[in-house]
């Protein structure tokens, strides 16, 4: 039996044993008609050929999307779609999305994480990654030579970053990519722009504590962190969305740094650290003319996080 067949069998066994939750349609996401744009963001599905638990969490979260009252403008995965970058893991991810919630979102955007690119030939893995994105309806792949690319949805720019080489834990953000980001943000001319990268910056979103306190630079982009920050700080209304930390919604999740706002999204597929350890956490963002509302949601349980929890509801000002 190959890896993919084993993954299917193991998930089916989880389902038969009642270990995959089924969110109630009654508490589904209802996109606000007054919002210009509504989308969901998940960090780190990290689907692994050896873990049916991750597939089960992802499946439960997808069921919540399937219940949506109307399609979201986008589903965004903020990196580490898979654990090892194996084709079987991407196939499983796509199969769940396509079987469970094929009509839940109009666009499917992904950035790669360190687990997607590590220990692999960069070009070949980029091709595998793009094939995966293409296999999901609404998927918008990157180009043939690098992960970073821009997508326009309803007049809003999404700038999807990605390491320019196969790094193990951080990311290598080349000068070329930094120049590209700067140019793209200049074109936005102050209109809200969503920059999605797998790793956050050095020393923000609770680092190093949110990486369980190990290592000065660990958990962040790495050596190019300050250069990336300098680009973000040149502009305004930049929403910088990241994953990687596997840290539940907390006081560290959102930070307003003036020019850019840093939103660190928990993992949807793996166990979250911190005070809020519930599985399948993520965010639903509704964009209005003068603000963005980001609501933390426990997708696998079909409910928003209690509003009294830190950063359960974030109002991001648009200046
Ligand atoms: Fe990661």
Nearest Cα residue to 312 out of 291, 300, 298, 292: 298
Between CA 45 and CA 198 the distance in angstroms is 12
- Express each pLDDT in 263-277 by its tens digit: 999 999 999 999 999
* C-alpha of residue 243 to centroid of ligand 1, in Å: 7
* C-alpha of residue 267 to centroid of ligand 1, in Å: 10
- Express each pLDDT in 124-176 by its tens digit: 999 999 999 999 999 999 999 999 999 999 999 999 999 999 999 999 999 99
Between CA 248 and CA 69 the distance in angstroms is 26
* C-alpha of residue 154 to centroid of ligand 1, in Å: 29
* C-alpha of residue 246 to centroid of ligand 1, in Å: 8
Using alpha carbons only, give the angle 158, 42, 157 rounded to the nearest 5 degrees.
Answer: 5
pLDDT score of 214 more than 90: no
Please say whether the beta carbons of 228 and 288 come within 8 A.
Answer: no
pLDDT of res. 139: 98
Between CA 94 and CA 97 the distance in angstroms is 5
* C-alpha of residue 116 to centroid of ligand 1, in Å: 8
Q: Tell me which residues have their CB within 5 A of the ion that is ligand 1.
A: 80, 113-114, 244
- Express each pLDDT in 172-203 by its tens digit: 999 999 999 999 999 999 899 999 999 999 99
Mean pLDDT, rounded, of the chain: 96
pLDDT of res. 281: 98
* C-alpha of residue 299 to centroid of ligand 1, in Å: 20
The pLDDT-based confidence of 212 (bands split at 50, 70, 90) is confident
Within 8 A by CB and 6+ apart from 87, the residues are 128
Between CA 286 and CA 115 the distance in angstroms is 29
- Express each pLDDT in 52-75 by its tens digit: 999 999 999 999 999 999 999 999
Question: How many structural domains comprise the chain?
Answer: 1
Q: Six-digit token pair at 29?
A: 């996401």
pLDDT score of 33 more than 80: yes
pLDDT score of 279 more than 80: yes
Return the sign of the alpha-carbon dihedral for residues 88, 102, 124, 46: negative
Host domain of residue 220: 3-317
Cis ω for the linkage preceding 184 (within 30 of 0): no
* C-alpha of residue 162 to centroid of ligand 1, in Å: 12
* C-alpha of residue 236 to centroid of ligand 1, in Å: 27
Q: Is 178 helix (H, G, I), strand (E, B) or coil?
A: helix
* C-alpha of residue 200 to centroid of ligand 1, in Å: 10
pLDDT of res. 119: 86
Burial profile 83-115: b = 16 or more Cβ within 10 angstroms, e = fewer: bbbbebbbbbbbbbbeebbeebbebbbbbbbbb
Give percent above pLDDT 90 in the chain. 96
* C-alpha of residue 300 to centroid of ligand 1, in Å: 21
The pLDDT-based confidence of 217 (bands split at 50, 70, 90) is confident
* C-alpha of residue 181 to centroid of ligand 1, in Å: 21
Please say whether the beta carbons of 232 and 238 come within 8 A.
Answer: yes
The pLDDT-based confidence of 1 (bands split at 50, 70, 90) is confident
- For residue 141, give the CATH number of its domain: 3.60.21.10
Between CA 259 and CA 319 the distance in angstroms is 9
């Amino acid at each position: 039996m190959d890896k993919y067949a084993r993954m299917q069998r193991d998930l089916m066994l989880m389902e038969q044993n009642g270990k995959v939750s089924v969110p109630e349609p009654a508490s589904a996401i209802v996109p606000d008609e007054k919002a210009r744009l509504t989308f969901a963001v998940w960090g780190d599905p990290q689907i692994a050929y050896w873990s049916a638990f991750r597939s089960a969490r992802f499946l439960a979260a997808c069921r919540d999307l399937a219940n949506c009252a109307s399609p979201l403008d986008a589903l965004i995965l903020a990196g580490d779609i898979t654990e090892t970058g194996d084709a079987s893991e991407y196939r499983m991810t796509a199969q769940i999305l396509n079987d469970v919630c094929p009509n839940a979102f109009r666009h499917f955007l992904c950035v790669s994480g360190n687990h997607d690119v590590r220990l692999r030939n960069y070009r070949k893995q980029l091709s595998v990654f793009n094939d995966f994105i293409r296999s999901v309806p609404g998927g918008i792949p990157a180009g043939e030579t690098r992960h970073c690319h821009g997508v326009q949805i309803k007049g809003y720019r999404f700038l999807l970053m990605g390491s320019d080489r196969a790094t193990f834990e951080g990311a290598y953000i080349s000068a070329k990519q930094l120049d590209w980001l700067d140019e793209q943000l200049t074109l936005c001319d102050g209109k809200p722009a969503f920059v999605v990268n797998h790793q956050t910056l050095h020393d923000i979103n609770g680092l190093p504590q949110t990486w369980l306190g190990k290592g000065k630079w660990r958990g962040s982009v790495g050596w190019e962190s300050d250069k990336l920050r300098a680009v973000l700080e040149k502009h305004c209304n930049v929403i910088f969305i990241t994953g990687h930390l596997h840290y539940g919604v907390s006081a560290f999740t959102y930070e307003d740094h003036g020019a850019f706002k840093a939103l660190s999204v928990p993992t949807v597929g793996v166990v979250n650290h911190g005070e809020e350890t519930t599985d399948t956490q993520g965010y639903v963002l509704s964009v209005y003319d003068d603000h963005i509302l980001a609501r933390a949601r426990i997708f696998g349980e079909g409910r928003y996080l209690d509003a009294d929890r830190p950063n359960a509801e974030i109002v991001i000002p648009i200046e």
